[in-house]
Amino acid sequence: MATLSFLHSQWFVEPPVPTHDFSGQTVIVTGANRGIGYEAIRHLLRLNAATVILAVRSVSRGNEAAAALHSATGRSGAVKIYELDMGNQESVKKFAAQMEDLDRLDAVLLNAGIYTQDFEFVDGHESTLTINVINTFLLAMLLVPTLRKSSQSWNIAPRISIVASDRHVMTNLPEWKAENTFQLLNDEKKAKMNDRYYVSKLLQILLGRELAKRLGDPRRRSAGASRIILNSFTPGYCFSGLTEKAHSVTAFGFWLLKKATARSTEVGGRTLVAAIAKGEESHGKYLNDCEVDE
């Protein structure tokens, strides 16, 4: 069923070119220098976003992306580059502190992510867990006060959108039964690294739901209430650099699947823009093909 739904999306659904107007808005995109994050920014600049913050682990790659965005869209002043290494908690904290100075923050696209089959400790945990899950949610939580302030000052409902994946269905996370799930996932001898990316994407969806609950209902209109909308979504399977480090047999499988089914990087980028344009009905929900998918 999940395979049929995947093939249906890949072959028969093309997410529409976004048309939402982002005039006056400030948007943060992590992992912004390439892939679907970069393509989303191209759309956001076309759709009049006032400021797009490119959060990148390499400032020189960020500068290259900014130059390319300038020549593609004719807009340069709207792009700001900040260093952010999602593999380093101190970098995440520093970035979040810098964002506190923003006058207005409308949306955060938590897009930076990795795929690896190699077990490596980064920042005290296996690298996929650190980058895709732990530091992604650390950043989300550290940005909440800035988003709340924006909500109250500008009477807006700022968005947090997490780039998850429909491939979360590839695991049912047997590790959840362990007394300490993260301890088990961090055990190199027991780690099933072929599943690890899917585990990280399932955790993103589950933790996203939980964080949405804790943020409260964005429909409430009581005096002083802040209204943050959080959703997660799949961009579908798209051309990008994501699986460039996959091992040979897996790499061949990805290559074949890409040839047969993948969306272009630009089409993938549309789904990021759609996620931050969604309304209150998407709070705590997961989107597929730009629509809420229960």
Q: Two tokens at 33?
A: 């220098």
**Tokens describing residue 89:** 């908690």
Q: Is 57 in the site for ligand NAP (CB under 6 A)?
A: yes
Q: Please calculate the CA angle 90-120-185 and round it to the nearest 5 degrees.
A: 90
Residue 246 to residue 251: CA distance in whole angstroms: 5
Q: Which residue is nearest to ligand NAP (CB)?
A: 35
Q: Tell whether residue 113 is a contact of ligand NAP (CB under 6 A).
A: yes
Assess whether 82 carries a catalytic annotation: no
Strands 125-126 and 121-122 turn out to be antiparallel
Among 38, 115, 201, 285, the active-site one is 201
For 204, half-sphere exposure in the C-beta direction (CA atoms, 13 angstrom radius) is: 37
- Taking the C-alpha atoms of residue 141 and residue 214, their distance in angstroms, rounded to an integer, is 11
Question: What track of x and - describes contact with ligand NAP for positions 68 through 107 (by CB under 6 A)?
Answer: ----------------xxxx--------------------
Exactly one of 29, 131, 156, 205 binds ligand NAP (CB under 6 A); which one? 131
Q: Binding of ligand NAP at residue 54 (CB under 6 A)? A: no
Tokens coding 79: 């792009």
Nearest approach, Cβ of residue 236 and ligand NAP (Å): 7
Q: Note the residue count of the chain.
A: 294
Binding mask 218-257 vs ligand NAP (x if CB under 6 A, - otherwise)? ----------------xx-xx-xxx---------------
Which one from 115, 197, 198, 237 is the annotated catalytic residue? 197
Residue 163 in contact with residue 235, Cβ under 8 Å?
yes
The string of DSSP codes covering 96-140 is HHHHTT-S---EEEE------SS--EETTEEHHIIIIIIHHHHHH
Of the residues 9, 10, 33, 282, which one makes contact with ligand NAP according to CB under 6 A: 33
Q: Does 26 bind ligand NAP (CB under 6 A)?
A: no
Element (H, E) at 265: helix 265-277
- 111 binds ligand NAP, rule: CB under 6 A: yes
**Site size for ligand NAP, by CB under 6 A?**
28
Would you call 197 a catalytic residue per the annotation? yes
Rounded least distance, CB 81 to ligand NAP, Å? 12
198 vs 172: CA distance, rounded Å: 9
Please identify every residue annotated as catalytic: 197, 201
* Residue ranges that bind ligand NAP, judged by CB under 6 A: 31, 33-37, 57-58, 61, 84-87, 111-114, 131, 163, 165, 234-235, 237-238, 240-242, 268
